[in-house]
Structure 1
Amino acid sequence: MREEVLKIYDELVAANPNFPRKGKTMPYTSANGYMFSLLNKAGELGIRLSKKDTEAFDTAFGAKPFISYGATMREYVLIPKSLLEDRETLGKYLQKGYEYVMSLPPK
């Protein structure tokens, strides 16, 4: 399952010219000094969203906490399996994650 999600994740990141994929064993994206998406060991994808985007995500998909290495990642939503099939929508949420971290003060 993790390899399937990694393939989808790699395709999404490759389709967006704003940021590269980083990390060999724990793939992630970051910008402005902040990580905004991550594929955990369990093969789950999490995206960091603004409060407003998290509320919209919750309405559409039910925002569940994203856990990596036993820690709940603040501001991240767990991407449900159903959304993995909708790459256009998932790509939009990945872009929203990028826009959110770009709105924060640089680290």
Structure 2
Amino acid sequence: MAILRIGTLLAVGTGLALATSPARAQSPGLYYAWRAVDADLITCIDRSTTALADEGLSNIQVEGNSVAGTTEDSTAVFVCLENPNAMTVMIMVSSTDDDTAFTLRETLKESF
């Protein structure tokens, strides 16, 4: 009888522990790429803004040398870095869906 009660208590305790465990969310996918471009800062910002708009991103914001936009489940950022010999553009895309982040990054690279 005591063994049955201990077994029942263990089963109930385990069930409660599992029921109250915090849910673990999947980490967002993050993909980035960079390349040298033959452009000045203003042209790089303009091309970045156009690429985001052409691919349907909204809430597009320019802040200094970067441009960011969002979709329902993704955020994309272009950063234009002035170097002595060339401009470097970096593209970063993050999404809760890994495939979406990768695909959007590739599409934005082509649009830029």
Fold shared, TM-score > 0.5 on shorter chain: no
TM-score, length of structure 1 as denominator length: 0.37
TM-score, length of structure 2 as denominator length: 0.36
Between structure 1 and structure 2, the one with the greater Rg is: 2
